[in-house]
Amino acid sequence: MSFLLPFDSLVCTLLGISLTVWITLLLVFIIVPAIFGVSFGIRKLYMKTLLKVFEWATLRIERGARERKQAIYKTNSNGIIVKEPTSLEEEIKQLRRNGSNRALDSREFEMSDIFYFCRKGVETIVDDEVTKRFSAEELESWNLMTRTNNNFQYISLRLTVLWGLGVFVRYCFLLPLRVTLAITGISLLVIGTTMVGYLPNGWFKDFLSKHVHLMCYRICVRALTAIIHYHDSENRPKNGGICVANHTSPIDVIILASDGFYAMVGQIHGGLMGVIQRAMVKACPHIWFERSEVKDRNLVARRLSEHVRDQAKLPILIFPEGTCINNTSVMMFKKGSFEIGATVYPVAIKYDPRFGEAFWNSSKYGMVNYLLRMMTSWAVVCSVWYLPPVTREEDEDAVQFANRVKAAIARQGGLVDLLWDGGLKRQKVKDTYKEEQQKLYSKMIVGNHKDRSRS
């Protein structure tokens, strides 16, 4: 027994020293730099090292495949079927030109027109440009993670050891570090905003609220080992405006809020998220809706309008797609936020999938599962472009305005601009989409009859 007591005290001493060293390193190298927005360049060095490792691993895999005379699957980012951007009328005219000897100016219904719709249906089934936007983006190279698009097999001992080392680093070092930082950031956010909420309204409360939010979001960014490149910062959203961005993940909020000040819009939740929301709204006029209120478009529009009319309030952050898309495209923007009449500040966000998949497939993974996947990835690397502010033109309705902003975001972020509604992630295609094609075809036929009758 006399030998056990000194041993127990030695273990306790070592644990105390380890904990002290761990907390000191966190404070000195991560938390304090995050508070002041300073970076030592460690994350960028880490990213460059990873890229070199990925490049070596991919070359080694390709060489091993050549030695075994095996083919390696390469993804085609342009889709399975090559499609030219032509209209329905032009395609049917081309089909008639190839399959009929009748004059090209004959616009009567022909049986060959049926083949156009059959072909379009088969193409949609084979290469569905909507459904594939709700699954993880495919990679051309292996990033030494479990998720991979290629059927990799054993190549060499060095590659296997490297993969095992990567698993150890991600789960045994990065995961505990990130969880600690996430808990620190969330705890400081709840405590800080609650304390600020007790101060009287005024410039001092607004000043503290902004910087408490900014500090905590920057700590949370460190919890994801996020490396963010901000471009054109002079176009950052200003008070009295609305910031709209393409939506890939819940962490989009953290990415943007770590570089600016925003008022959040969202539905009231319970549990931990509810605690965070109630604390945040005490310090800053965020806009939270009850579940029943979200369906009332007039109420939502009225509250948003009241917020943007007050030039003292922060710009509203909105994701008009309404759901997460896999960062290869931008889908239809809901027109509600473009009917208010406020200045719109477009923002394009593009993630680098080589370091980890930022897309949240909410129909497949819950929030806890998704966060675990994010915290066990290598890093979150993305670029953010602040586009020049835009306003609605006199002869432009809300839908046209939304499409113009969406096109600008897609163009800047190198994303595909799609007209489809992101709600198709969980819903069936509306009959209006089917009727639209029918109307286009009938208009072509009926319109041509009118032209002939006039002649």
Q: Is the dihedral of CA 351, 357, 363, 367 positive or negative?
A: negative
Q: How many residues does the chain have?
A: 455
Q: φ, ψ for residue 294 (rounded to 5)? A: -60, -35
Give residue 401's region: left, alpha or beta (phi > 0; psi -120 to 50). alpha
| SS3 assignment, position 266 | strand
Find how far residue 440's CA is from the centre of its chain: 34
Contact status, residue 406 vs residue 337, Cβ threshold 8 Å: no
Spatial distance between the Cα atoms of 408 and 387, rounded to a whole number of angstroms: 8
Cα separation of 280 and 7, whole Å?
Answer: 47
pLDDT tens readout for residues 324-357? 888 888 988 988 888 887 889 999 999 988 888 8
Q: Is the pLDDT of residue 4 over 50?
A: no
Is residue 74's pLDDT more than 90?
A: no
| pTM of the predicted structure, to 2 decimals | 0.78
Looking at residue 82, what is its pLDDT?
47
For 266-270, what is the mean pLDDT?
78
**Higher-confidence position of 387 and 50:** 387
Residue 433's pLDDT band, with cuts at 50, 70 and 90, is low
Nearest to 256 by CA among 218, 203, 300: 218
Helix (H, G, I), strand (E, B) or coil at 143: coil
Rounded Cα distance, 258 and 411, in Å = 24
Mean pLDDT across 268-279 = 81
**pLDDT on residue 3:** 47
* Whether 212 contacts 192, CB under 8 Å: yes
User: What does the pLDDT read at residue 65?
Assistant: 65
DSSP 425: G
Contact by Cβ (8 Å): 347, 409: yes
Three-class secondary structure of residue 177 per DSSP: helix
Euclidean distance between CA atoms 381 and 45, whole angstroms: 13
Contacts for 393-400 with beta carbons within 8 Å, 24 or more apart? 398/335, 398/336, 398/338, 398/339, 399/335, 399/338
How far is 358 from 137, CA to CA, in rounded Å? 10
3-state class (DSSP) for residue 307: helix
Averaged confidence pLDDT in the chain = 78
Q: Is the dihedral of CA 201, 203, 207, 210 positive or negative?
A: positive
**DSSP E strand stretches across 279-438:** 287-289, 316-318, 329-330, 343-351, 380-386, 416-417
The answer to whether 303 and 290 are in contact (CB under 8 A) is no
Domain boundaries, the chain: 4-68, 169-420
Report strand pairing: 287-289 vs 226-231: unpaired
Distance from the Cα of residue 290 to its chain's centroid: 24
Question: What is the pLDDT, as a whole number, of residue 149?
Answer: 45
Q: Is 213 exposed, middle or buried (0-12, 13-18, 19+ CB in 10 A)?
A: buried
**The pLDDT value given to residue 103:** 45
Contact 339, 391 (CB under 8 A): no
Region 170-182: mean pLDDT is 89
Q: Partners of 224 in the beta sheet?
A: none
Lowest mean pLDDT among 30-44, 268-282, 391-405: 30-44
Mean pLDDT of 422-442: 67
How do beta strands 380-386 and 343-351 pair? antiparallel
